[in-house]
Amino acid sequence: MSAFELKAPKGANRDKKVLGRGRATGTGKTSGKGHKGQKARSGGGTRLGFEGGQMPLYRRVAARGFSNHPFKVEYVGINVGSLNERYSDGEKVNHETLVAKGLVKNGEKNIKILGAGELDKKLEVEITKVTAGAKDKIVKAGGSVVE
């Protein structure tokens, strides 16, 4: 198929709107711009963000202070109760086993063990972040925490 045979689908192209050619055309007299006013004039209209002389929003809102957002580190919290349900006695708890047991997704690297729930199994935890309460419960159950 050559470039000369290509055609736009029916209804894709419309004729240019002809303005100011009498009332019968539908766009006569004021040419669809209404009566007078700033928007009816040639080159008329306002700039983006203009609010009729009122102080625009982008100037009213304070642009001060510091946001820590780009540096924020979010952790996936896992309670010791969840470890108690999914792990058997003497198992290791690390990133790979957490992914295998379905407690975290593969891309989630920042993991924190939290102290909610009960633990009655001896586990060897190899996670960088463990709360003090969780550490106590793991040690009391006979396990160990390697940070």
pLDDT of residue 4: 81
Q: What is the pLDDT of residue 66?
A: 84
pTM confidence score: 0.55
Using alpha carbons, list the distances in angstroms from residue 101 to 20, 60, 88: 73, 51, 11
- pLDDT reported for residue 80: 94
Q: How does pLDDT run across 86-132, given as a tens digit for each residue?
A: 999 999 999 999 999 999 998 888 999 999 999 999 999 999 999 99
Per-residue pLDDT band for 1 (boundaries 50, 70, 90) equals low
pLDDT tens, position by position, 25-43: 889 999 989 999 999 999 9
Which residues, 6 or more positions from 112, have their beta carbon under 8 angstroms from its beta carbon?
A: 75, 76, 77, 78, 127, 129, 130, 131
* pLDDT tens, position by position, 67-90: 888 899 999 999 999 999 999 999
Q: How confident is the model at residue 143 (pLDDT cuts 50, 70, 90)?
A: very high
138 neighbors 125 (Cβ within 8 angstroms): yes
- Go through the domains of the chain in sequence order and give each one's CATH number: 71-145 (3.100.10.10)
